[in-house]
Amino acid sequence: MALIDALGPGNSRSSSGGESRITRSSYGPDEIYSRWALRSLPAWKQVFQNTGQPHLFQHTGVLWTAPEADPRVASNRQALVNSGVRFELLSGVEVTYRWPQFRFPEPVAGIYEPESGVLLARRAVQAVVAEAVRAGVEFIMAVAEPPDGGGRIDQIRIGPDTSIRAGDFVYACGPWLPKAFPRLLKDRIHATRQDVFFFSPPPSDRRFSPPFMPAWLHYGDPRGGYALPDMESRGFKLAFDRHGHLIDPDEMDRIVSQEAVAEARAFLSERFPALRNAPLVETRVCQYENTSNGDFLLDRHPELENVWIAGGGSGHGFKHGPAVGEYVEQLLSGCGTPEPRFSFASKGMARARAVY
């Protein structure tokens, strides 16, 4: 078995190359993602334990808020009950009493998942590769040439004079998938630019660090703001869970604009007034690889019988990595049951996000 990566594990141009990703179980009616998140977190922890890095999971808890009347409050609650997830349903008064660093201009309700938290993404990817190599997987840094045509292939080129042979080939290229398979995917997966900001809390102010602040997501605001507490003294992370501009991952610049910084500061002033004048200490530009509705694409290539596509993380995929790997392995071995919502047939070309 071989793992081929052109730029190295956790590289800064990948969708998984950022410092941190939230892992949570709240997915409302999309309970398959709740189940996959629950299956994946113990697997992540096991990898971290095996590689001597248990701190790569930060047990911050996750707070999810929405306007009081938002129907997703009830659907998230029911999904967590159905999945057996421990949670607390909180009123807006209870949320602001427990975490007074937050400000909400509207009445809200909250759901708190005390067992959820944050994965340190870049190093988590590197830990997975290290564990795979320890288990006997060959890691190769090379550009894998995408196959073409139909039928069955027995090898792919990974350089001008080198090929690699295998029985099955899985392409999990993130935002490069539409470039690898343009005829098939250029209108089914869209890579978008996502700006991320890190602000430094006031000296000795621990209100914005674990365990005094959880990771936080908010629905019902078109800006889609979310925040992670200051971990490892890197800064308070703020970003917006909405689709940015379409990009090419090879050509996109990774410098945020002053307009984007101004929007982040305005949101920070509104929701976290104590950080209104916090120094901006770091920015990153990541990317989503969005399917038409936010569901994953995990299926056999429709024209190549031993080529498989694994992608469409759509901004929420990182936490599910172990479950995705297990699912794809079962498809390859012929013992898995395909999930229709992850198929090529289910992927449209008009963008209509439905999974959050």
> For residue 120, what are the contacts with CB-CB under 8 A and spacing of at least 6?
19, 20, 55, 56, 57, 58, 231, 232
Structure-derived torsion over alpha carbons of residues 139, 143, 144, 148, reported in degrees to the nearest 10 = 180
- Residue 60, token pair as written in the block: 């911050």
CATH of span 2-9+123-189+293-346: 3.50.50.60
Name the nearest CA neighbour of 315 among 226, 197, 199, 182: 226
Q: Is the pTM of this model over 0.75?
A: yes
User: What averages of pLDDT result for each successive group of 10 residues across the chain (356 residues)?
Assistant: 95 92 95 96 98 98 96 94 95 97 95 98 97 97 90 92 95 96 94 97 96 96 95 96 94 95 97 97 96 97 96 97 98 94 93 89
* pLDDT at residue 159, rounded to an integer: 83
**Structure-block tokens of residue 227:** 């925040």
The pLDDT of residue 250: 94
Residue 350: the pLDDT is 86
- Give dist(CA 237, CA 146) in Å, integer: 36
